[in-house]
Structure 1
Amino acid sequence: MPSPPRDLPVWMLAAASLRAGTPVALLCVVRSEGSSPGRQGFKMAVTDAVVAGSIGGGIMEHKWVELARQRLRETDAAPLLRPQIHRREAPADRSGMMCSGEQEVLLWPFGLADLATVEAIANRLQSGGRGSVSIRPTMGLQLHAAASEKSTAAEETEEALFYAFQPGPDWLYREQLGFRDQLTIVGGGHVSLALSRVLAALDFELTVLDDRTDLPTLDANDAAHHRRVIDYEHVAAEIPAGAHRYVVVMTVGYRTDTVVLRHLLGRSCRYLGVMGSVAKVAELRRGLREEGFSAEAIARLRGPIGLPIHSQTPEEIAISIAAELIRVRRSSEL
C-alpha cells in the first residue's frame, strides 16, 4: 500500500487517546535553523505510555518527552514554547546536543475540546485531503479548508511556505496538510517499480505515468499513490508546476524520453532528471538544442541521474536516484 504522510501516526495516536480519555500532548518543532536534528514541522504525540513521531531524537527528545509526561500527570494545560540551542557554550536553553543549530519546540497539551479537530486532521491525512492546521495561544488548534481555486503563483507561494511560524506574545504556527513534496515518475518499468518502493519511506506523494496498457510492472506498483496510463503528448497536463515538484523520466526508450522532455523542459519544478547512459543523455541534449530549446533550459535537466555508486540492478539504481533526490531536497535547507 502507498505510504501515508509522515504525520498521520501522530494525529491518529492523539485522536485515539482523546477518545479513550487518556491525556496526550503534542510536541512540534515550530522553527529550526542550521544543523538541527529536528526540522520545522517535526512532531510527536506523547502519552504516559506511548509516543508516535519524532522531534529529532537524542537526549533533547528524551527530555521533552519526559517534560510532556510530567505536565500531563500534573494536568497542566498551559502550552510551552521554548528554544533549544544545540551548542554546549550557549548561556541558556541548551538542548544537551552539540549539532550547532537551533530549534524551537512547542508543547501543546490536547484537551477534550480538540477531539473533533484532531479526528478531522487524521481523517483528512488518511484520505489524501488538503488544507492547513494552525495553533495559536488565543485561538487554539484549528483546521482550515483548502482554497478551491488558486492561481499558479498562489500555489507556488503556498508550497514555498508549507510551514510558517510568526513569533511574539500571540505567536502563530501554521502548516499545510499532506505531502510537501510530489514526485512523478514518467515510465513504469522495472527501475520505476524499484524506485517507487524506495521512495515509499521518504515522504513523497508519488505518481507513476506510462503510455503502455497492461504493463505488469505498473500494475504491480503498490507503492505509488497514483498510477495512470496516458498519452505522452499530454504529459504536461499531468504534472503541475511548483517549488516542490520532482520529475524523473525513465520511459521505455530514447524516442519517448524525447517526447516527454519536449513538453516538460523549461517548466518550473524542483527537479527534472532523465535516466540513461552518458552517451544517451548527451544525445538527448543535442536533439533538444536542435529543436530550439535554450541552453539555460537544457542545463537544468539532470542526467544521467543517480549518485555514481556503480549501480547495476534496478534496486541499486533506485537507491542511487533516491539519494540524489534527497540531496536536492535538502540542499535548500543547509
Structure 2
Amino acid sequence: MEFWQQLHTKLQNKQRVYLLTVIENLGSSPGRKGFKMLITKNGFIFGSVGGGVMEFTLVEEAKQLLQQENPPTFIKKQIHKGNIKDGSGMICSGEQTVAFHYLDSNDISIVEHIISCLQHGKKGTLHLSPTQFDFTSLILENQFEYKINSLEDWYFNEHIGFKETLYIVGGGHVGVAVSELFVKLGFYVVVFDNRENLNTLENNRTAHQKLVINYNDIENYVETSSSSYVAIMTNKYTDDKLVLSKLIKNNYKFLGVLGSKAKLKTMWEVLLNEGVTQEKLNKVHAPIGLSIKSETPEEIAVSIAAQIIQVKNQDKK
C-alpha cells in the first residue's frame, strides 16, 4: 500500500517517475519477481529491485533518462557474474530482468484504482508491457504471469491485492497480537466478536475489518475458499464449540482452534456425539499453533503464524 501511495503523491505533485519492476529472476538473483522501485529526476527513491551496485547503476540510469522529454519504456537484463556483457557488477550469480516504466500525471487514475483495491480488500491484476501500464479487475490464478520473447515483445502480469484472508474469531488480546503479525505478513485480516463495546476489539488498529456479530451467523461472514484461513479464539468454550460446529463442514485452507488439550478433548467428544465425523475433526489444527511453549499473546501469535505459513507454503517446491 505504502509503495503505491508514495507513487500517487509524486504523480500528484507533477513529478516524472520511473517505476522499476523485476519481471524475471533466475538463480540467486537478489531481486525477485515483483520487486519494485520508484525513482524521480531529483533523486528520490523508494523500494528496491535487489540492492547493491546493480541497483545503484539502474537508479543512475533512470535519473539520466528522466532528463529527456520522452523517457522510454524498456526492459534491461542483469547477469550477476561480475564484469561481463549485461553484467550487474555483482558476483552472487543468477540473473534478473528489470522493466523501466515512465509514469507521469496521466497515470494517476490507474494508481488510484490500485490503492482503492488494496484499501477495500479487493483483488486485481497489474499489466506491464512495452506499451502498457494498466490495472484491471481480472484475477490471476498465480501471483505472476509473464513472457519475454525479445526486448520489444514481452509482458508481465502481477496479482495485486490480498491473496489470503485470515478470519480471527475472538477479539481479545491474542486476537490483537495475531492481527498485528498477520497484517505484516500480507494477509487481509478480519476480526469477529459477539461482545459490544469490547475494549480490545475497538482498540485493534491493524485489522482491516472488525465486526460484532452473532456467532450463529458466522458462516455468512467467512468465505469458503482455498485462500481463507480461520483462527478460532473466543473467550469461552461454548462459543468456540458453536463456531467450530458451524464452520467445520466447509473447506478452508486452514481451520484452527486455540485452547488447552483438555478443553479440546472434551469438545471433540461432544462434537463426535453430535455427528461430526472424525475425518472432519482430523483436519482441524487444535491446539492451534506450533508447539513452542508460547505463553504471551505475542508468542502465541508467532506460533500460529508459523503453523499457517507452513500450511500456506506446503505445496511450494
TM-score, normalised via structure 1 length = 0.78
What is the distance in 2 between the residues matched to 1:238 and 1:189? 19
2:161 partner SS: coil
Corresponding position of 1:69: 63
What is the distance in 2 between the residues matched to 1:35 and 1:244? 29
Mapping of residues 6-155 of structure 1, within 5 Å:
8-32=1-25, 37-47=30-40, 48-73=42-67, 77-83=71-77, 96=90, 98=92, 103-126=96-119, 128=121, 130-138=123-131, 140-144=132-136, 146=137
Cα gap change, 1:76 to 1:183, in 2 (>3 Å): same
Task: Return the offset for 1:235.
Answer: 1.0
Cα gap change, 1:279 to 1:23, in 2 (>3 Å): same
Task: Render the CA deviation track for 1:226-246: whole Å, top value 9, x for unaligned.
Answer: 111112222111111223221
Corresponding position of 1:155: none
Task: Return the offset for 1:38.
Answer: 4.2
Task: Return the offset for 1:27.
Answer: 1.7
Identity %: 36
Q: 2:146 aligns with which of 154, 159, 165?
A: 165
Give the aligned length: 314
Output the aligned Cα RMSD. 3.3
Corresponding position of 1:153: none
Task: Note if contact 1:159-1:244 (Cα within 8 Å) is conserved in structure 2.
Answer: no
What is the distance in 2 between the residues matched to 1:290 and 1:103? 57
Cα gap change, 1:215 to 1:35, in 2 (>3 Å): farther
What is the distance in 2 between the residues matched to 1:259 and 1:40? 43
Task: Note if contact 1:159-1:242 (Cα within 8 Å) is conserved in structure 2.
Answer: no
Task: Return the offset for 1:120.
Answer: 3.7
1:16 partner SS: helix
Cα gap change, 1:111 to 1:316, in 2 (>3 Å): same
Q: Which has the higher contact order (CA 8 A, sep 6+)?
A: 1
Q: Which amino acid aligns with 1:248?
A: A
Gaps of 5+ in 1: 1-7, 148-157
What is the distance in 1 between the residues matched to 2:25 and 2:275? 43
Cα gap change, 1:127 to 1:289, in 2 (>3 Å): closer
Task: Note if contact 1:59-1:97 (Cα within 8 Å) is conserved in structure 2.
Answer: no
Q: Which amino acid aligns with 1:298?
A: L
Gaps of 5+ in 2: none
Mapping of residues 287-302 of structure 1, within 5 Å:
287-302=270-285
Task: Return the offset for 1:311.
Answer: 1.7
Task: Note if contact 1:39-1:55 (Cα within 8 Å) is conserved in structure 2.
Answer: yes
Cα gap change, 1:105 to 1:261, in 2 (>3 Å): farther
